[in-house]
Structure 1
Amino acid sequence: MFTRGIEVKTPGQLKKMRQAGLVVARTLTALREHVVAGVTTGELDAIARELLAEAGATSSFLGYGARWGTPFPAVTCISTNDEIVHGIPGERVLADGDLVSVDFGAILDGWHGDAARTFTVGQVSPEHAELSRVTEEAMWAGIGAARLGGRIGDIGAAIEASIVAAGSYGIVREYTGHGIGSQMHMEPDVPNWGRKGRGAKIVEGMALAIEPMATLGTEDTVELDDEWTVVTADESWASHWENTITVTRQGLWVLTLEDGGEAELTARGLPFGPL
């Protein structure tokens, strides 16, 4: 069902999304062990393809964009160092000290799950480790701001406030979070900045991908000639964290974490509300 252009899922449909989300969560957990120096980003993508097949799922990313341009050629987006999002896996060899953002989406029984994690390779600098921590914390601030009857702007305002409070970081504005369900990208957009009380109302059955992207420099971006990879204009490093969530009458449910987000939500004093 759609309400003002936003897809509202039934409890049964959200449970199907949870199954897709579990494929995403388990694949990202498995990939973490392989993000080491000497591995290529293409090898990581091959592992993700195998895990998708084993789960009986298909990719949200592979072939995406074919209707209007160059189709995405992989099942993961792997963005390293100054790459923000949409990096194409290939021959790049990971090195000690790299910061690697892996974005992954799966379709199961027609429903999507989408999440991203920033991984570190070996010993990273304190500055780069802190960038990832700040971005992850901003994601949780955004998740924690979602509540029934609230507004999408509440999420963006919380993300922005979290990053600004942490120090001098760029908040990427050109790329946002989004609604998700029977398609990967749906209404509403979920910006990583904003004003409380603005935007679409959050209602039962809405599913959102919340995904802050922060940089050590400015927010300005450049798309490379491959028509996908987005890098920072000033070559500063970037981090990207994302989870798919829904808000129930009981609380928050993170569809792309194996425990549904229970540990993080409980630690933050937030209500955990699985269906």
Structure 2
Amino acid sequence: MIMYKTEAEIAIMKTNSSLVSTMLGEVAKVLKPGMTTLDIDAFCKSFILDNKGIPTFFNFHGYPHNICASVNDVVVHGFPNKKELKEGDIVSVDVGITRDGYVGEHAYTFILGEVSAEVLQLVKVTKESLYKGIEKAIAGNRVGDIAHAIQEHTEKKYGYGVVRELVGHGLGKTMHEDPQIPNYGKRGTGPVLKENVVLAIEPMVNMGKKEIFTESDGWTVKTKDGSPSVHFEHNVCVKKGKALILSDYSIIEAAEQTNSNLNTSYYTNTAKASS
């Protein structure tokens, strides 16, 4: 069942989503080689508790951490660990907060230092595809319109592998509500989008082939061919004419630019789209 939100509920979710953006912005200020993803997990837990929230991910279906930290060929759901991050790593941090009965959660991929032109392009294109999908998240369109826009920009235009088994989703009092939002599909298919449904739109795109596998921990999803994968996610409310983006990448992007350890050379144009 698709749950539609009141304007008051949307306001709460916008506050929570913006708070997640602020948290990811604080991560962007300090992220550097030598840190561990467990360091990021501890930081985010403290941030959430300090802001009178509940870490949404912790114990969700038994998940044992407060964030998902997915590095290089990890697509999503990576366990934070003690391995030191290094120059050339790409790091997706996905985190959620529950406050006042509603969830805000989204993800951002960071680049540590210098990487190949191919990796820069993958990050840039995946981020662009998120906004291509959001452009279609308007009342009267269908879920397939979002999915097609993302696939068209990534897989059809650049030959990347769009993950099939993992999808975006509705968002509200729980982290996963209807409808599911795939990152591939045909225009004009799927449920009709109506005003005031809140979605987590999240392209998960591999540089190589689309095939993935899950490690023995039951959570960590990796590319089957070992190629890098990138994950971006926004919280979006469907409206007439133009979607309302509840999360705020401009906070994260501004923080990235203050940190010389992070590579922001790819997003000159996408940064404008998020403001």
- TM over 0.5, shorter chain: yes
Give yes or no for the alignment of 1:197 onto 2:183.
no
Identify which of 211, 221, 224 aligns with 1:233.
224
Give yes or no for the alignment of 1:55 onto 2:51.
yes
CA–CA distance in 1 between the matches of 2:74 and 2:13? 29
**8 Å Cα contact 2:127-2:270 kept in structure 1:** no
Q: Which residue of structure 2 lines up, in the alignment, with residue 183 of structure 1? A: 174
CA–CA distance in 2 between the matches of 1:222 and 1:153? 25
Mean CA deviation greater in 166-175 or 249-258: 249-258
Percentage identity across paired residues of the two chains: 34
**8 Å Cα contact 1:134-1:166 kept in structure 2:** no
Deviation at 1:250, TM superposition (A): 6.0
CA–CA distance in 1 between the matches of 2:93 and 2:164? 19
CA–CA distance in 2 between the matches of 1:16 and 1:157? 30
Q: Which residue of structure 1 lines up, in the alignment, with residue 100 of structure 2? A: 109
Q: Count residues with an aligned counterpart.
A: 260
Give yes or no for the alignment of 1:173 onto 2:173.
no
Q: Deviations over 1:127-165 (max 9, x none)?
A: 111111111111110001111111111000000011135
Secondary structure in 2 matching 1:6: coil
Residue identity matched to 1:26: T
CA RMSD of aligned residues (A): 2.2
Gaps of 5+ in 2: 252-268
Give yes or no for the alignment of 1:120 onto 2:111.
yes
Residue identity matched to 1:245: V
Mean CA deviation greater in 5-14 or 196-205: 196-205
**8 Å Cα contact 1:34-1:44 kept in structure 2:** no
Runs of 4 or more consecutive aligned structure 1 residues displaced over 3 Å after TM superposition: 264-268
**8 Å Cα contact 2:162-2:205 kept in structure 1:** yes
Q: Which residue of structure 2 lines up, in the alignment, with residue 100 of structure 1? A: 91
CA–CA distance in 2 between the matches of 1:47 and 1:216? 30
Q: Deviations over 1:151-184 (max 9, x none)?
A: 1110000000111354121101110000011110
TM-score by length of 1: 0.89
**8 Å Cα contact 1:62-1:75 kept in structure 2:** yes
Q: Deviations over 1:174-202 (max 9, x none)?
A: 10000011110011000001111111111
Q: Which residue of structure 2 lines up, in the alignment, with residue 10 of structure 1? A: 6
Residue identity matched to 1:36: K
CA–CA distance in 1 between the matches of 2:191 and 2:157? 28
Q: Which residue of structure 2 lines up, in the alignment, with residue 158 of structure 1? A: 149
CA–CA distance in 2 between the matches of 1:146 and 1:250? 9
Deviation at 1:217, TM superposition (A): 1.0
Residue identity matched to 2:44: A
Q: Which residue of structure 1 lines up, in the alignment, with residue 29 of structure 2? A: 33
